[in-house]
Amino acid sequence: MARINDNYLKLKAGYLFPEIGRRVASFNQANPEGAQRLIRCGIGDVTEALPPACREAMHRAVDELGDRATFKGYGPEQGYAFLRDAIAKHDYTDRGVDVGADEIFVSDGSKCDTGNILDIFGPGNRIAITDPVYPVYVDTNVMIGNTGGADDSGAYAGLLYMPCTPENGFVPAIPTERADLIYLCYPNNPTGATATFSQLRDWVAYARSNDAIILYDAAYDAYIVEEGVPRSIFEIEGARECAIEFRSFSKTAGFTGVRCAYTVVPRNLKGRTADGTEQLIHPLWARRQTTKFNGVSYIVQKGAEAVFSPSGQSQVAALVEHYLGNAKLLREACQQRGLAVYGGINAPYIWVACPSGLGSWEFFDRMLQEINVVITPGAGFGAAGEGYFRISAFNSRDNAKEVCRRIVEELRL
């Protein structure tokens, strides 16, 4: 009798974005006219053309595969040295951050990595997550049995939720209780907040004093434009003893459909076995990846490498500048309507309080029906997201401007 993983039955409803997809599809069917002018600012998905440097590199890679002399079969599961070296140099050592190429594991996405990382951690870990939060952190913990069931607000028993509010600048206070694995994401999805050096220092100190590990999601680091904002947890002294970092080419270089990301596991990072013995984490992740993964497409890795070329760097900078330009306009439009607005300065997301005490799915439906704009309801990111919505700045400038116009002229508040 094949037994299923009963933890899956604890999962509430659909994963957020499929649920949004269902509501939009049903709206489109019922309102052909509204569907015509629908603008999507929901899922955080890039919209602009892939940088030419990446495309050129991928064309060359495809051609290489057409000649047996340069054909590539299975590559190293952790990624080709050309890409790991480029990442270590450009994203870390050139910025004075101590991360070696051997500590970088190239993958096909941060969603995979932040989910799969739990494979190497055992039962009995107390999980701390921010609220609101990227739903994947929560759902993958439910799936693996780190939680009990959900209550009516969608909160799962056993998780240590850390509310992020305007009062704490969307960076949670250090818990008064023990946590073993702590999910932090800055620039934050969904709130667009960033953490300060001082805040991250406090987190590193907390993690080290608890033998805890911080799972640091820096998928949006490229959007940090202000001085003095940390881009990597490894800019904090001591973080190499207590953190794993996830990064992605998705939002940096427009790779959401191309698929490439990476995870940094410091070579001396340790966890403990059931009997308390210290155990290096790096070989566990290496074993996980070599056993359950076969590396990222060679073509894609060549495309990712090109991000670090001089032309790639300037093309990527232009992309980021474009999206942040949208974010600025969207912030201003919401502010003009008197809404409380957060994020959108060092991040492609704007986090807005719903007007007149509306619930966030309620406001989602209103934005959809009334001004035909898809946003993401804050409640989809956790109980503390209720009463907020997220606008994504990933769009054309024309679309962003039109959304602003509709917010200013058409939205009834």
Radius of gyration of the chain (CA): 21
Write the binding mask 200 to 229 for a copy of itself: x where contact by CB under 8 A, - elsewhere.
Answer: ----------xxxx----------------
Comparing CB distances to a copy of itself, the nearer of 43 and 174 is: 43
Pick out residues in 372-391 that bind a copy of itself (CB under 8 A): none
From the CB of residue 19, how many other CB atoms can be counted at a distance below 10 Å? 15
Is residue 119 near a copy of itself by the rule CB under 8 A?
Answer: yes
The sign of the torsion formed by the CA atoms of 48, 54, 58, 59 equals positive
The sign of the torsion formed by the CA atoms of 384, 41, 214, 257 equals positive
The residues facing 341 across adjacent strands are: 352
Is residue 336 near a copy of itself by the rule CB under 8 A?
Answer: no
From the CB of residue 318, how many other CB atoms can be counted at a distance below 10 Å? 11
- Among 24, 150, 205, 284, which residue sits at the site for a copy of itself (rule: CB under 8 A)? 284
Question: What is the SS3 assignment for 344?
Answer: coil
Q: How far is CA 338 from the centre of its chain?
A: 29
Measure the CA–CA gap between 26 and 36, rounded to whole angstroms.
14
- Minimum Å gap between C-beta 337 and a copy of itself is 28
- Among 71, 98, 173, 268, which residue sits at the site for a copy of itself (rule: CB under 8 A)? 71
Is residue 38 near a copy of itself by the rule CB under 8 A?
Answer: no
Size of the site for a copy of itself (CB under 8 A): 84
- What tokens were used for 188? 């934050």
- Tell how strand 341-343 and strand 349-353 pair up: antiparallel
**Matching residue, tokens 């995979």:** 112
Is residue 297 near a copy of itself by the rule CB under 8 A?
Answer: yes
- What tokens were used for 181? 């694995």
Write the binding mask 85 to 114 for a copy of itself: x where contact by CB under 8 A, - elsewhere.
Answer: -----------------------xx-xx--
- Among 32, 96, 123, 338, which residue sits at the site for a copy of itself (rule: CB under 8 A)? 123
Is residue 400 near a copy of itself by the rule CB under 8 A?
Answer: no
Is residue 398 near a copy of itself by the rule CB under 8 A?
Answer: no
- Minimum Å gap between C-beta 237 and a copy of itself is 20
Q: Which stretch binds a copy of itself (CB under 8 A): 97-105, 251-259, 336-344, 348-356?
A: 251-259
Measure the CA–CA gap between 316 and 25, rounded to whole angstroms.
32
- Minimum Å gap between C-beta 373 and a copy of itself is 18
**Among 79, 324, 363, which Cα is nearest to 192's?**
324
Is residue 295 near a copy of itself by the rule CB under 8 A?
Answer: yes
- Among 125, 196, 311, 313, which residue sits at the site for a copy of itself (rule: CB under 8 A)? 125
- Minimum Å gap between C-beta 19 and a copy of itself is 11
The residues facing 181 across adjacent strands are: 127, 213
